[in-house]
C-alpha cells in the first residue's frame, strides 16, 4: 500500500507519520518496519525527523530510476540468473569498499546478522537464515560511497531476494549442511572486512560466488537437485 502511494504521489509529499501509516495499513510493527526498510533501500521513501517530519515521497535521482529499471525486469529464470551474474561481478568491488568505509558500528551490524544466521541455523529456520543473509548484503551495500554502485547493487539484490523461492541443494546435501556452508562463507567475509585483509576479501568473494543461493537453478551434470522452500518474501 505504501509503495503504491509513493509511486503515485509527487516527490516531496508528506504521507504521514509511521504510526499513522501503520494504522492505515493495519499491519504489525515488524511487518511495517520491514516494508519501510525495503522502500527506503529502493529510494522511494524518505524519513524526516523532528516537528513536521514523518514519511515523505523521495525525490528520485536518475541513479535510483536506473535501479528501478533493473527491478522492472521480467521475473523469469533468465532475468533472475542474469541479476545474480551481475551481482557476483560487483561483489569483490563492494566487499573491498566495505573494508575501507565501515565504521566500528557498521562492523557490529554485520556481526549482528552473522549471529542471526547462526541462531537461525541452530533452529533449522531457513527463512530466518535467508532474511539475515539479505540484511547483511544490504548493510554492506549501504556503506558504499558510490551512489551508482550502491543503487545498482541494492536493486539487483532486491530483485534476487523478491524472487527467491528455494535454496538449491546438491545430491546428498541437507538443509543444515547448506546453511553451515553459507554461514561460514559470510562469517569469513565479515572477518576479512573487519581485518581489512585484501587477499582474504578476494578469496571470500570467490567462495561467495560459488555457494550462492540460485532461485530456480537447474542442477549441473551429475547432480540431482533438492529444494528447501523458505517464505517466498525472504
Residue 65, pLDDT score: 45
Task: Give the confidence band of 68 by pLDDT, cuts at 50, 70, 90.
Answer: very low
Section 145-152 average pLDDT = 89
Task: Give the confidence band of 57 by pLDDT, cuts at 50, 70, 90.
Answer: confident
Question: Are both 2-57 and 62-228 of the same fold?
Answer: no
In whole angstroms, give the CA distance from residue 169 to residue 214.
10
Extended strands (E) in 80-223? 167-169
Question: For the range 29-33, what are the long-range contacts, defined as Cβ-Cβ under 8 Å and sequence gap of 24 or more?
Answer: none
Percent of all residues in the chain with a pLDDT value above 70, rounded to a whole number:
72
Measured between alpha carbons, how far is residue 132 from residues 62, 81, 119, 145 in Å?
30, 21, 10, 23
Task: Give this prediction's pTM.
Answer: 0.62
Q: In what order do the strands lie in the sheet with 14-16?
A: 14-16, 54-57, 45-48
CATH level 3 topology of 2-57: Arc Repressor Mutant, subunit A (1.10.10)
Q: Cell match 536493486: residue?
A: 155
* SS3 label, residue 167: strand
CATH class of the 62-228 domain in this structure: mainly alpha
Residue 177, pLDDT score: 82
List the chain domain ranges: 2-57, 62-228
In whole angstroms, give the CA distance from residue 159 to residue 100.
27
**What is the per-residue pLDDT across 171-190, written as a single tens digit (0 to 9) for each?**
566 778 888 888 999 999 99
**What is the per-residue pLDDT across 17-37, written as a single tens digit (0 to 9) for each?**
888 888 888 888 888 888 887
Amino acid at each position: 500500500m505504501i509503495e503504491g502511494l509513493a509511486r503515485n504521489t509527487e516527490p516531496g509529499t508528506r504521507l504521514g507519520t509511521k504510526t499513522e501509516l501503520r494504522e492505515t495499513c493495519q499491519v504489525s510493527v515488524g511487518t511495517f518496519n520491514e516494508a519501510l526498510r525495503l522502500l527506503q533501500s529502493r529510494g522511494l521513501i524518505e524519513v524526516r525527523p523532528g516537528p513536521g517530519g514523518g514519511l515523505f515521497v523521495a525525490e528520485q535521482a536518475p541513479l535510483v530510476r536506473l535501479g528501478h529499471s533493473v527491478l522492472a525486469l521480467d521475473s523469469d529464470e533468465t532475468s533472475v540468473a542474469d541479476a545474480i551474474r551481475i551481482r557476483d561481478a560487483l561483489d569483490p568491488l563492494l566487499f573491498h569498499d566495505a573494508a575501507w568505509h565501515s565504521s566500528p558500528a557498521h562492523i557490529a551490524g554485520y556481526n549482528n546478522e552473522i549471529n542471526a544466521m547462526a541462531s537461525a541455523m541452530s533452529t533449522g529456520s531457513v527463512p530466518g537464515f535467508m532474511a539475515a543473509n539479505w540484511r547483511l548484503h544490504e548493510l554492506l551495500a549501504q556503506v558504499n560511497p558510490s551512489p551508482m554502485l550502491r543503487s545498482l547493487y541494492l536493486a539487483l539484490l532486491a530483485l534476487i531476494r523478491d524472487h527467491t523461492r528455494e535454496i538449491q541443494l546438491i545430491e546428498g546435501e541437507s538443509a543444515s549442511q547448506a546453511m553451515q556452508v553459507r554461514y561460514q562463507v559470510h562469517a569469513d567475509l565479515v572477518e576479512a572486512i573487519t581485518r581489512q585483509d585484501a587477499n582474504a576479501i578476494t578469496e571470500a568473494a570467490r567462495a561467495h560466488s560459488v555457494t550462492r543461493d540460485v532461485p530456480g537453478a537447474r542442477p549441473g551434470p551429475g547432480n540431482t537437485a533438492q529444494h528447501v522452500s523458505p517464505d517466498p518474501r525472504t
